[in-house]
Amino acid sequence: MIQTLEERLARYPVERYPVQHATAQFHLGVALTNEGRLPEAEAALGTAAGVFSGRMPVEYAKTMNALGAVLRMQGRSSESIDAFRSAETLFATAGLRPEEGAALYNLGLAQHDDGDLAGAIASFRRAGERFADGNAKARAASMRELGAALLQTGDIVAAITTLTQAIEIARNMGDQPGLGGAANVLGLAHLAAEEPLDAIAAFRLSAAANPRSLRPAEYAMAKANLALAFEAAADQPRALLAAGQAAAVASASAPVLTLAREVRARLGARPGTLFVVLDHEPLETWPGVVREELARWIDLEQSAREAELTTLIDALTSSPREGDLAEAWLGAVLELTPQAGDCLLYTSPSPRDRQK
């Protein structure tokens, strides 16, 4: 792709074919951005902008919007703000509301990076209005960012209202990543409002919308925050379970892993928490609870996994609901890949081994 665009640039020198050259430079800049080659992308987009400026206002606006994104990705938020403002003004003049909304959304992100929360709130609010009659997914994203900014300013009531609306829009669109992101921020808002039960519901929704197998980092974030919510609700076993599931995700961000490990250290993590939780769960939820915990066990080091499996054997031999537990356990194991199932079945210490 990049080589083809470079060849096109050679065929259309800017002196003879300025528009064709600028168009190729624009597409090259986008392609280089996608490759992470940001300085080269900035150069290509800057060349395109120079040709389009004063000649083709809409193409210039599109180029400035792309250039603003590249500048922001390089940590140059103040410069990106100027680029996004130029794009937004030109799109508004041309009556292109969705494109104006995209520029406003990007402007809000840059203003947030620059510490201008009031400006970010205004931009996200206007972006949502521009998307009201069109792109519902983009509108939900604008409202999610608006809610997060409102929460940072301490306007918790407005944040909860805005984030609830973002969740409903994302749900109606079938946008699971958007739903999960908005629900996670909503949970934080409920925690700030000292409403742990509502926070628990929001973080559970976020984790469900971000399955561990598809979006592990987002799943881990929701689970770490869920642990905080359970801790605030004085439910230590469920807090430990959620924190352990977050801490087991290797691709989770460093702050998420730190948070999860702090909760586990604070509450005293120990094997067997799963069965304490199951004692207070309705039977119909057991398969899901067991399934999520087994996903954690698979990623544990062998000694830690064997410690958990030992607690399973104890529960199977002592629980009055051993039949229900065995059914939930085997059902969850059968859903795993053969390799994952084997690591649980064949590292399990037998009662005879444990007596030696």
Residue 178, class by beta-carbon neighbours within 10 Å (0-12 exposed, 13-18 middle, 19+ buried)? Answer: buried
The whole-angstrom separation of Cα 7 and Cα 27 is: 13
pTM: 0.89
Secondary structure in 3-state letters for 31-70: HHHHCCCHHHHHHHHHHHHHHHCCCCHHHHHHHHHHHHHH
Whether 28 contacts 63, CB under 8 Å: no
Residue 316 burial (CB count, 10 A): 16
Those residues of the chain that have pLDDT short of 70 are 346-356
Question: What pLDDT sits at residue 347?
Answer: 55
Q: What are phi and psi of 116, to 5 degrees?
A: -95, 80
Residue 339 one-letter amino acid: Q
Q: For the chain, what is the largest distance between any 2 Cα atoms, rounded to a whole number of angstroms?
A: 87
The whole-angstrom separation of Cα 257 and Cα 248 is: 8
Residue 127 burial (CB count, 10 A): 28
- The number of C-alpha atoms within 13 Å of 341 and in the hemisphere containing its C-beta is 10
| Helix locations, 174-253, DSSP H | 176-192, 196-209, 216-232, 236-247
Question: What pLDDT sits at residue 346?
Answer: 61
Q: Which one-letter DSSP state was computed for residue 272?
A: T
Q: For 199-255, what is each residue's pLDDT tens digit?
A: 999 999 999 999 999 999 999 999 999 999 999 999 999 999 999 999 999 999 999
Q: For 286-301, what is each residue's pLDDT tens digit?
A: 999 999 999 999 988 8
Considering only CA atoms, give the Rg of the chain: 26
Question: What pLDDT sits at residue 354?
Answer: 40
Tokens for 52, please give them. Answer: 């389009």
